[in-house]
Structure 1
Amino acid sequence: MKRLLYLFKNKFFWVTAAFVVWMIFFDKNDLFSQYQYHQQLSKLKQERDFYIKQTDAVSKDLDELTSNPAKLEKFAREKYLMKKDNEDVFVIVNDKSN
C-alpha cells in the first residue's frame, strides 16, 4: 500500500501517464488512426496486386497481337465484333435467369 501511495505521489509517474494517454488518444498518430492506416495499406496492397496482374495480362496480349496476325484478327473479331465485308456477325446472349 505504501508503494502504491509513493507511486501516485511521484511526478514522473504522472508525466509518463499523461504522455501515454496523450499518445493513445489525442495525438494525430493515435491508435485509431494507426488502425485506419493499416486497413488502408492492406486495401492498397490488394489493389496493387490486382493491377500488376492486369498489366501482365495486357502486356502478354499485346505481345501476342503484335507478333501474330492471326491472333490479331481473332482478337478484333471477338472483342470488337469486327467483320469482313462479305460476312454477317450474330451475337448470341445467354439468359442466365434460368
Structure 2
Amino acid sequence: MLKFKNNRYLKPFKNWFVLILVCFAVWMLFFDANSWLIHHELNSEIDALENEKDYYNREIKKDNKAIKELSTEEGLERFAREVYYMKKENEVIFIIEYEDSLKTKDND
C-alpha cells in the first residue's frame, strides 16, 4: 500500500494550493464549456467549412466562365452541337468515337 507521507511523487499534493490548481487546470482543459477539447473541435469544423467555401467559390468561378461562353452565339451553337448533337438544315454530322473514349465496364 502506498504511504502518502513518504511518496515523493505525491508530496506536492499535500499543499492545498497545488491541489486546487491541478483541479482547476483539469476542469478548464476537459470539462468546462470553453475547454480545449471543444475549441479544438470547433477549429477543425471551421477549417472544414473554409475548405468547403473555397471549393464552392472555385465552382462559382467555373460556372461564371461557362455562362460567359454560352452567352455568345458561337459558344451556344458549339454547346448545342457537342452536347445535344444538333445540326443545321442540310447538314450531315458524323460522330467518330475512339475505342479509348468509349465508356465500358473496365474504365468507368
8 A Cα contact 2:69 2:75, kept in partner: yes
- Determine if the alignment matches structure 1 residue 55 to structure 2 residue 70: no
Q: Scaled by the length of structure 2, what TM-score is found?
A: 0.62
Task: Looking at secondary structure, tell me which structure has more helix per residue.
Answer: 1
Which amino acid in structure 1 is aligned with residue 77 of structure 2?
E
Distance in 2 separating the partners of 1:38 and 1:62: 36
| Matched residue, 1:83 | 86
Match of 1:71 in 2: 75
Greater relative CO, 1 or 2 (CA 8 Å, sep 6+): 1
- Count of aligned residue pairs for this structure pair: 94
State which structure, 1 or 2, has the greater radius of gyration over its C-alpha atoms: 2
TM-score, normalized by length of structure 1? 0.66
Selected match of 1:27 from 25, 32, 35: 32
Mapping for residues 10-21 of structure 1, pairs under 5 Å: 10-21=15-26
1:78/1:35 CA distance change after superposition, 3 Å: farther
Q: Give 1:83's aligned amino acid.
A: M
Paired letter, 1:35: H
Query: Where do 5+ consecutive residues of structure 1 fail to align?
Result: none
Gap regions ≥5 residues in structure 2:
1-5
Residue 56 (structure 1) shift = 0.7
Q: CA deviation at 1:88?
A: 8.2
